[in-house]
Structure 1
Amino acid sequence: MTMERAEFWGTRRMGVALVTASAVCWSTAGLFVRLANLDVATLVVWYSMSACIGLGLVCALRLRGGLWRAILEIGWPGLVYVIIAALCATSYVLALQYTSVANVMTIYASLPLVATAVAFLWLEERVSRQFIVVGLISIAGIAITAGAAATINDAIGLIVSFLMTVTFAVMLVVSKRYANLDVLLASAIAAGLAAAVCAPFMNYGVPSLIQLTGCVLYGLLAYGLGINLALVGGRMIKSGEAGLLTMLEIVLGPIWVWLFFGEEPTIEAVVGAATALGAVTWYLSVERQPLPEPAPS
């Protein structure tokens, strides 16, 4: 294996590891939302404040005296990222207020397809035949879940879930397109923006210790660590592949709330998720095979 190929596969493996770790972190979001048990605005404010403070401290230590300068020089890509990230985080919490974690996660299975579509239109990334097959199978899995929506609330939750999925796909592509963008700093600003927007609508009573714990863990682990691992790792691999790896959340997310809160997924959600995940497993087993060495000239 040539040095270039060794470096490529090493970088790719690191990207895969980071995105996989992010999926584990982000899968706990539903658990912490249920633990907090607050209305949307109040939950968003408390967890966003936790994320903003936590990420802000990390940025302050890393940038030292250059923090304010970095904020002022974030540029229009950073502003786009901040707005999209704030919308993504808020819509996810809103979706969980209307429908189950399993339903939200199954709609989230469309992320690889959406991320690839955005990357194809914006970055002109190539799309393999295998990926097209996986995308179609994933759509079938989503259709199974969406077709079983029992109430108006479920339907609203599924629509908001798709909005969350689209915004996260844009975040992945923006972070890859603008490699110099400080995603950690931008995520901290986005959390602050989300808190400021939702503050007028929150309940100003002090939550219980358990509720605050859920908010803080959501802000630091699921949002702070989970999203940023995905964005950093996503720069090392294709946008669609990063989206596929994050689908590990589809399995873990419903498991956490089932174990701790007894929230059982519907049969349709299980079938839909299994369909999408089976396709992803096949795709990754094909795509990770090393390319053949070129014949010597």
Structure 2
Amino acid sequence: MATLMWSSAGLFMRSLDLDLATIQVWRALFGALSLFLIILGEHGRRAPQAIASIGRIGFLVAVPLSAVSMLAFVVALKLTTVANVMIVYATVPFLAAGVAFVWVRERPERRVVIASCIALAGVVVMAGGAAKGEDIAGSFASFVMTATFAVLVVMARRYRGMPMAPINAVGGLLCAAMAWPFAGVQGLPNLHDLVILAAFGSITTGLAYLLFLTGSRRMPSSEAGLIALLDVILGPTWVWLAFGERPSLLALVGGALVLGALVWYLARGLFAAPVGGRQAAQDGGL
């Protein structure tokens, strides 16, 4: 269910005829609100303490990274096809492995290096098929989104007590504040657009996060990763069916390379993890 909700982002984006900054502001606000409600439901009266537990490094580093990732995601969806965005985003595990190597000297396995090279080749093939300057800019925004998210993944492992829900909630507020000065060109969105923006923010940010977190606690990370991988396929499929947005041939070839590398990388953990070792597999995964 979380993967289905994440894959709907392109549908929401293509349903809105608003300027980019206005979409950023309202999507981030509704996303932050949904996350704050989740925090309140989980912690009750201790919700303020949960937010304060973000800590100094969280407020100075993780929150701005989360805001930039949210900004770049919407920019990417606006400028290029959903397929291009999802292909670049699918390289998160490999970028995270690179960040972990540089930051905490965590040596990647040979399997990760091989899969990373194949995935990189896929992204290069996809980017080489960019027909317009907007596609190139959108692909770059996708890379910024993916890179910042990869750093957050490594931070979550490096600082085990760092609470990701409060970080993303505060990051959503920061994202809205960053876009606010550039919004309002078209005035306040009408009721129809506000409903779409509310669903865009709360479903793809809050509810999807809650469902994925709940599900991933009960299965190995490799299984969760393979299920989440469906987002890369479903996202472009929905906008193709609803809006006729077709990925280019090179995007399909590049996407096949990236997906093949990911499946090959994750499959070993899926089949190697014994039934009794599910929690260990979960704790050790990205």
TM-score if structure 2 supplies the norm length? 0.84
User: Which of these residues, 240, 244, 265, is aligned with residue 262 of structure 1?
Assistant: 244
User: Which of these residues, 192, 213, 218, is aligned with residue 173 of structure 2?
Assistant: 192
CA RMSD of aligned residues (A): 2.8
User: Which of these residues, 205, 215, 239, is aligned with residue 197 of structure 2?
Assistant: 215
User: Which of these residues, 251, 266, 273, is aligned with residue 284 of structure 1?
Assistant: 266
Task: Confirm or deny: 8 A CA contact 2:76 2:85 kept in the other structure.
Answer: yes
1:64 aligned onto 2:31: no
In terms of mean alpha carbon deviation, does 108-117 or 90-99 score higher?
Answer: 108-117
What is the distance in 2 between the residues matched to 1:182 and 1:272? 35
Partner SS for 1:207: coil
What is the distance in 2 between the residues matched to 1:119 and 1:233? 25
Task: Confirm or deny: 8 A CA contact 2:38 2:210 kept in the other structure.
Answer: no
Number of aligned residues: 272
Post-superposition CA distance 1:118-172 (Å, at most 9, x none): 1223344442222222111111111111011111111111111100110111111
Task: Confirm or deny: 8 A CA contact 2:38 2:206 kept in the other structure.
Answer: no
In terms of mean alpha carbon deviation, does 141-150 or 214-223 score higher?
Answer: 214-223
User: Which of these residues, 80, 85, 89, is aligned with residue 104 of structure 1?
Assistant: 85
Q: 1:92: how far off?
A: 0.7
Structure 2 counterpart of 1:120: 101
Change (3 A) 1:230 1:26: same
Post-superposition CA distance 1:36-82 (Å, at most 9, x none): 23222101111111112222122223323223333334212321221
What is the distance in 1 between the residues matched to 2:73 and 2:103? 25
* Partner amino acid, structure 2, of 1:122: W
Partner SS for 1:112: helix
Task: Confirm or deny: 8 A CA contact 1:91 1:164 kept in the other structure.
Answer: yes
Q: 1:94: how far off?
A: 0.7
Task: Confirm or deny: 8 A CA contact 2:89 2:146 kept in the other structure.
Answer: yes
Structure 1 counterpart of 2:4: 24
Task: Confirm or deny: 8 A CA contact 2:222 2:269 kept in the other structure.
Answer: no
Post-superposition CA distance 1:265-296 (Å, at most 9, x none): 1111111111211222222333323379xxxx
What is the distance in 2 between the residues matched to 1:238 and 1:177? 20
Change (3 A) 1:284 1:61: closer
User: Which of these residues, 128, 139, 149, is aligned with residue 147 of structure 1?
Assistant: 128
1:205 aligned onto 2:187: yes
Q: Percent identity?
A: 40
1:183 aligned onto 2:164: yes
User: Which runs of no fewer than 5 residues in structure 1 stay unpaired?
Assistant: 1-20, 293-297
Task: Confirm or deny: 8 A CA contact 2:58 2:162 kept in the other structure.
Answer: yes
1:173 aligned onto 2:154: yes
Partner SS for 2:90: helix
What is the distance in 2 between the residues matched to 1:239 and 1:114? 17
Task: Confirm or deny: 8 A CA contact 1:36 1:212 kept in the other structure.
Answer: no
Structure 2 counterpart of 1:275: 257
Task: Confirm or deny: 8 A CA contact 1:113 1:240 kept in the other structure.
Answer: no
What is the distance in 2 between the residues matched to 1:161 and 1:231? 23
User: Which runs of no fewer than 5 residues in structure 2 stay unpaired?
Assistant: 275-286
What is the distance in 1 between the residues matched to 2:218 and 2:65? 21
* Partner amino acid, structure 1, of 2:199: L
What is the distance in 1 between the residues matched to 2:221 and 2:100? 7
TM-score if structure 1 supplies the norm length? 0.81
What is the distance in 1 between the residues matched to 2:226 and 2:136? 24
Q: 1:241: how far off?
A: 9.5
Change (3 A) 1:119 1:25: farther
What is the distance in 2 between the residues matched to 1:257 and 1:158? 18
The aligned runs of 1:2-41 (5 Å cut-off) are 22-41=2-21
Q: 1:252: how far off?
A: 1.2
